[in-house]
A and B are shown apart, each in its own frame.
Chain A
Amino acid sequence: MNSVAELDAQADVTRTGRIEREIRVEARPETVFAFFTDPEKYVRWKGKLAELDPRPGGIYRVDLDGQHVARGEFVEIVPYRRVVFTWGWEEAGNPVQPGTSTVEIELIPDGDAASVRLVHRGLPEEAVAGHAEGWDIFLPRLMEAAGDRGPGSPD
């Protein structure tokens, strides 16, 4: 029987989903930038333990709560302006696996402040194709659920 992780690796999912956020921070881009590249500063806003090697191909790994770990690789670093890294959960079977999505951070100077613009792209948006393997595990479960309701008597 396939594991959920294997099924996910086989899954054909469109990855066009994106999340965009922008926040104004009353601090200069230089101050904010360090919070994306310095592990000690990183854990002051996200995670418990961060391993960061801020250069293209360098590791990005953040233990969020002792259980869930976000992992990726830095793709682009422009000091005080831009940080790009790939992102996913290490946890097997999670729909966002390491390397499948990308986070882009842009720091836009605004007087003594900075706008922080975040785009998280490449997120799964829609399951687009059938994989027979998936039915082995999930159809019987759905059939159980269907059996509970009884054919022909939906509420």
Chain B
Amino acid sequence: MNHMHRQALRRGRPNTAADHIEVTRPAISQHLRVLKEAGLVEERRRGTQRLYRAKSESLEELRRFLEDFWDQSLDRLKEAAERDERRSDRSTRTSTEGG
């Protein structure tokens, strides 16, 4: 799932990233700048360091998904429970009338 891929981009420093892949620090910084301008990552400064992280849309998507999930589930719960309640009402009445 694409949003999970984005979600997996953690906050990190360009030089940390450069230690792990075969590109130079300036190249990574340049790409991060482009990504920042494109709105895909956020930049934060801590002293002389710049920290980057993926923007939180993916977590918002997850939240929206779960909100819909519970809304739909609770609507169905209401329907099913009310059906059972009506049925038990009828059977109570029937048994009262019968006995």
The interface residues of chain A, by DSSP majority, are classed as mixed
Q: Quick one: CB contact mask for A105-138 with B, threshold 8 Å, 1 for yes?
A: 0000000000010101001111111111111111
Count the A residues whose beta carbon is within 8 Å of the partner chain — how many?
Answer: 58
Interface size class of B (residues with CB under 8 A): 35 or more
Contact status of A127 and B11, CB under 8 A, knowing A120-B66, A138-B5, A142-B40: yes
Which residue of B30, B62, B81, B85 contacts A151 across the interface (Cβ within 8 Å)? B30
Q: Are B70 and A19 in contact (CB under 8 A)?
A: yes
- B76 located at the interface, meaning its Cβ lies under 8 Å from any Cβ of chain A in the complex: yes
Q: Which residues of A contact B10 (CB under 8 A)?
A: 11-12, 127, 129-131, 134-135
CA distance A18 to B30 in the complex (A): 37
- B75 located at the interface, meaning its Cβ lies under 8 Å from any Cβ of chain A in the complex: yes
Q: Which residue of B lies closest to A135 (CB)?
A: B17
Contact status of A11 and B63, CB under 8 A, knowing A130-B16, A136-B20: no
Which residues of A are at the interface with B, using a C-beta cutoff of 8 A? Answer: 4, 7-8, 11-12, 17, 19, 21, 23-28, 31-32, 34-35, 41, 44-46, 93-96, 116, 118, 120, 123-143, 145-147, 149-152, 154
User: Could you list 19 examples of A-B contacts with CB < 8 Å?
Assistant: A4-B5, A7-B8, A8-B8, A21-B67, A26-B78, A35-B77, A45-B73, A95-B59, A127-B54, A129-B10, A131-B12, A132-B12, A135-B9, A136-B21, A138-B9, A139-B28, A142-B31, A151-B30, A151-B33
